[in-house]
Structure 1
Amino acid sequence: MSIKKSSGIQKKYLQHTLVLLTLALLLSSMGVWVYVRKNMTSVIVDKYEFMNEKMGISLDNLYEKSDEVTAECITDDSVQQSLKAKGLENVEKNALSKYFAYIDLDDVAEYCYVDNKRNVYTKSYSNITYEEFKESGFGERLSGSYAGTEWFFTEDTLFGTGESALFVGRMVRSMDYAHEPGMIFFKMNDQFLKKLMENKEAMEETAVGIMDSSGRFCMQNFPSHFSLSGEDEKKLKSLAESGKSGIISQGQRLETGILQAYRQRESGLTIFTIVPNSVLTSGLNQILLVLIGIYVLVMLIAVGISLYFSRVFTRPIQKISREMENFDGKDFSHKLDIHTDTELDKIGHSYNEMLANIEQLVGEIKKQEKELRSSELHVLINQINPHFLYNTLDTIYMLARINGEEKTMKMIQALSSYLRLSLSKGSDIVTVADELENVKSYMEIQQIRNADLFHYEIDCQVEASKRWILKLILQPLVENAIKHGFDDIFEGGLIRIEVKEVSDRLSLTVYNNGTAMEQEMVDKINALGKTPIVELKNCFADQKHGYGIINIMTRLRLKYGEDVKFEYEVQGDGTKCRILLPGDGRKNDEL
Structure 2
Amino acid sequence: MQHIISSVTRRFRNLSLLSRIRLVICGLGLAICIIIILISLLYYRYSSGEQTLASARRAARTAAGTFEVNYTNIIEQFVFACGTKEFASDIRSLSNASSDAVRLVQNELTTLSHCNYLVHSAMILSGDGNKACTLYSSSLQRATDELFDLRDLETVNGITLLPRRPSPLRSSVSVIPLIFPLSINAEEYAQLTLDGSTPDVYVILYLDCGKLEESLLLNGSGQTSGVFYLMNQSNIALNADDSSEHPRLLGSDDTAAFLNTLRESTQDESFASRPGSWLIARKITDTNLILLNLVPRGSLANVLGTAGASLVLIFLVVLVIFFAISLLMTSTITRPVNRLMEVVHQIEENRYTQRIEFQTNDEIGKLNQAINRMYDTIQQQMVRIKEEESEKYLTQIKLLTEQINPHFLYNTLECIQSEVLRGDSQTASSMIQYLAEYLRIGLSYGADLITVTNELRHANAYIKLMNQRFGQSIIFMYQIGPGLNQHLILKTILQPLVENSIRHGFGIDAPGIPILDPTIQVNFSSSEEVLTIEVIDNGSGFDVEEAEKILYASDPEALQHVGLHNVYHRLITYYGKDAVEMTLGSIPYYRNTVTIRIPMAVPARAESR
Using structure 1 for the length normalisation, give the TM-score.
0.51
Equivalent residue for 2:302?
279
TM-superposed CA distance for 1:279, in Å, is 0.6
1:413-424 paired onto structure 2 within 5 Å: 417=469
Structure 1 CA distance for aligned equivalents of residues 108 and 398 of structure 2 = 150
Once the two structures are aligned, what percentage of the paired residues are identical?
Answer: 7
Structure 2 CA distance for aligned equivalents of residues 45 and 208 of structure 1 = 16
1:206-245 paired onto structure 2 within 5 Å: 206=225, 208=227, 236-242=246-252, 244-245=255-256
TM-superposed CA distance for 1:154, in Å, is 2.6
Give the counterpart of 1:196 among 192, 216, 219: 216
Contact 1:152/1:267 (8 A) holds in 2: no
1:492-507 paired onto structure 2 within 5 Å: none
Provide the secondary structure at the position in 1 that maps to 2:168: coil
Provide the secondary structure at the position in 2 that maps to 1:429: helix
Equivalent residue for 2:538?
none
1:318-329 paired onto structure 2 within 5 Å: 318-322=342-346, 327=351
Structure 2 CA distance for aligned equivalents of residues 83 and 325 of structure 1 = 121
TM-superposed CA distance for 1:41, in Å, is 4.4
Structure 1 CA distance for aligned equivalents of residues 282 and 137 of structure 2 = 32
Provide the secondary structure at the position in 2 that maps to 1:172: strand
Structure 1 CA distance for aligned equivalents of residues 59 and 315 of structure 2 = 37
Structure 2 CA distance for aligned equivalents of residues 353 and 554 of structure 1 = 45
Equivalent residue for 2:483?
none
Equivalent residue for 1:313?
337
Provide the secondary structure at the position in 2 that maps to 1:83: helix
Which string of whole-angstrom CA distances, capped at 9 and with x for unpartnered residues, describes residues 524-555 of structure 1? Answer: xxxxxxxx987x7xxxxxxxxxxxxxx94499
1:414-563 paired onto structure 2 within 5 Å: 417=469, 425-427=495-497, 429=500, 437=508, 552-553=557-558
Structure 2 CA distance for aligned equivalents of residues 170 and 184 of structure 1 = 6
Give the counterpart of 1:129 among 115, 124, 138: 138
User: Aligned pair 1:146/2:169, yes or no?
Assistant: no
1:106-185 paired onto structure 2 within 5 Å: 107-112=118-123, 129-131=138-140, 134=144, 137-138=147-148, 140=150, 141-158=152-169, 160=170, 162-174=172-184, 180-185=200-205
Equivalent residue for 2:600?
none
Paired letter, 1:197: L
TM-superposed CA distance for 1:83, in Å, is 3.3
Structure 2 CA distance for aligned equivalents of residues 72 and 461 of structure 1 = 148
Contact 1:247/1:262 (8 A) holds in 2: no
Contact 1:165/1:188 (8 A) holds in 2: yes
Equivalent residue for 2:445?
none
User: Aligned pair 1:19/2:23, yes or no?
Assistant: yes
1:571-590 paired onto structure 2 within 5 Å: 589=594
Structure 2 CA distance for aligned equivalents of residues 163 and 234 of structure 1 = 17
* Structure 2 runs not aligned, ≥5 long: 1-12, 95-99, 188-192, 194-198, 260-270, 427-464, 475-492, 517-542, 547-551, 567-584, 597-609
Q: 1:34 to 1:208 in 2, by over 3 A?
A: same
* Structure 1 runs not aligned, ≥5 long: 1-8, 220-229, 403-412, 439-459, 467-502, 507-531, 537-550, 562-582
User: Aligned pair 1:295/2:319, yes or no?
Assistant: yes
Paired letter, 1:238: R
Q: 1:36 to 1:555 in 2, by over 3 A?
A: farther
Give the counterpart of 1:354 among 372, 378, 381: 378
Contact 1:80/1:175 (8 A) holds in 2: no
Q: 1:418 to 1:35 in 2, by over 3 A?
A: farther
Q: 1:437 to 1:424 in 2, by over 3 A?
A: farther
Which string of whole-angstrom CA distances, capped at 9 and with x for unpartnered residues, describes residues 408-453 of structure 1? Answer: xxxxx99x848999x9944463555689856xxxxxxxxxxxxxxx
TM-superposed CA distance for 1:145, in Å, is 0.2
Which string of whole-angstrom CA distances, capped at 9 and with x for unpartnered residues, describes residues 18-44 of structure 1? Answer: 233344444555555555555544554
TM-superposed CA distance for 1:396, in Å, is 1.4
Using structure 2 for the length normalisation, give the TM-score.
0.50
Provide the secondary structure at the position in 2 that maps to 1:146: coil
Structure 1 CA distance for aligned equivalents of residues 559 and 356 of structure 2 = 47
Contact 1:240/1:270 (8 A) holds in 2: no
Equivalent residue for 1:449?
none
Structure 1 CA distance for aligned equivalents of residues 500 and 322 of structure 2 = 78
Contact 2:216/2:228 (8 A) holds in 1: no
TM-superposed CA distance for 1:463, in Å, is 5.3
Structure 2 CA distance for aligned equivalents of residues 56 and 247 of structure 1 = 16
Equivalent residue for 1:487?
none
Contact 2:122/2:206 (8 A) holds in 1: yes
Provide the secondary structure at the position in 2 that maps to 1:147: coil
TM-superposed CA distance for 1:351, in Å, is 1.7
Which string of whole-angstrom CA distances, capped at 9 and with x for unpartnered residues, describes residues 492-530 of structure 1? Answer: xxxxxxxxxxx9999xxxxxxxxxxxxxxxxxxxxxxxx
Paired letter, 2:215: K
TM-superposed CA distance for 1:75, in Å, is 5.5
TM-superposed CA distance for 1:259, in Å, is 3.7
Contact 2:278/2:296 (8 A) holds in 1: yes
Contact 1:211/1:269 (8 A) holds in 2: yes
